[in-house]
Amino acid sequence: MHPIPWRAYALLAASTTLVGSYVGLSKLLVAAFPVFLLAGLRFGFAAVLMLPWLKKPAHEAPLDARSRWLLFLESFLGNFLFSICMLFGLRQSSAVVAGVILAGIPAAVALLSWAVLRERLGGRTLAGIACAVGGIALVATGRQGHGYEGETTPVGALLLIAAVCCEACYVVIGKQLTAGLSPKRISALINLWGLALVTPLAVWQGLSFDFGAPRALDWGLLAYYSATASVITVWLWMAGLRGLPAAKAGVFMVFLPISTALVGLALGEVLSTQQALAYGLALVGVWLATWPARVR
């Protein structure tokens, strides 16, 4: 039996769990700050925190043209475009349809890793991906009838599909970057690109924004959100991705809705039997995709 890369699994699970846990926090911040201004402040705070990570380690080669291009694409697709497609897609879609579409992220990662990275997809990996996608899709359909209805426009559905593609590109490009760059430096560089991309829109919204309106608590939440979303989770993800195939890493995306559900339980929400079974199915998918098979 191959040794189990427990460290990589733990890093990926921690990263996606943190992402899911601050989903509710981001909703509070959107109520206090305009969307693009919030993104600009987030990247700006994170850039200050990650200044020491920008220095090139002695063992790393200088950035070549390919690495620079991949860093730009990683930030443009995974940070900038993903956020825009997700935000405006959710505004024009019901939660049920959005959940089903976003459940396809592990499958999209596997398909792209096969096409771009030439990763071999074994039977257990494919079965795990199917369980993960099926479990999260079942969670979404299980919400029907509990106040989650809404109209889904064709544009909204297309934007969410685009968000899924962006996230798949983020994983696959990140896997390529970890071959030559440290996780900390990748995190710092793609955050700088994110700051450069969103700054014009942030300045446009900031010119008409009353910076005295947010409370001290809002600024504190913004600082925590910046450190978590742009620094800690990205670093954990890149460090875990370094030791795993991209297709297997993509399965860990199921921890995002699971952690969101746990936060909801802590806040007094009720988890239905169907949702509990669906999350269990998603976790079985993680086990199938990651537990090593016996080899001769």
Q: What is the pLDDT of residues 111-163, one digit of tens each?
A: 888 888 888 877 777 887 888 777 777 766 665 544 445 577 788 888 888 98
CA distance 197 to 209: 20
Of the ranges 131-145, 155-169, 175-189, 275-289, which one carries the lowest mean pLDDT score?
131-145
Rounded to an integer, the average pLDDT of 263-276 is 69
Mean pLDDT along residues 78-98: 77
Mean pLDDT for the chain overall: 82
Q: Is residue 70 predicted with pLDDT exceeding 90?
A: yes
Q: What is the mean pLDDT of residues 91-99?
A: 67
Pick the range with the lowest mean pLDDT from 146-160, 191-205, 209-223.
Answer: 146-160
pLDDT at 3 (0 to 100)? 65
Give the mean model confidence (pLDDT) for residues 89-111.
74
Alpha carbons within 13 angstroms on the beta-carbon side of residue 214 total 20
Using pLDDT thresholds of 50, 70 and 90, give the confidence band for residue 37.
Answer: very high
- Alpha helices in the chain, H assignment, sequence order: 6-21, 23-32, 35-49, 65-75, 82-91, 95-102, 105-116, 123-142, 154-177, 183-206, 216-226, 233-241, 246-251, 255-266, 273-290
Q: Is the pTM of this model over 0.75?
A: yes
Q: What does the pLDDT average to over 153-176?
A: 88
Mean pLDDT of 35-53: 92
Predicted pLDDT at 260: 65
Average pLDDT over residues 236-263: 80
Given a contact cutoff of 8 angstroms between Cβ atoms, the answer to whether 288 and 141 are in contact is: no
Mean pLDDT across the stretch 171-193? Answer: 93
Distance CA 253, CA 82 (A): 15
Residue 267: what pLDDT? 61
**Average pLDDT of the residues in 88-112:** 75
Cβ within 8 Å of residue 270, ≥6 positions away? none
Contact by Cβ (8 Å): 218, 32: yes
Residue with more model confidence, 208 or 21: 208
Which of the listed ranges 49-63, 90-104, 144-158 does the model predict with the highest average pLDDT? 49-63
Query: Is pLDDT at 169 greater than 90 in this prediction?
Result: yes
Whether the predicted pLDDT of 270 surpasses 80: no
Distances (CA, A) of 155 to 8, 29, 84, 166, 198: 37, 26, 13, 16, 23
Distance, CA of 209 to CA of 40 (rounded, Å): 13
Q: Is the pLDDT of residue 45 over 90?
A: yes
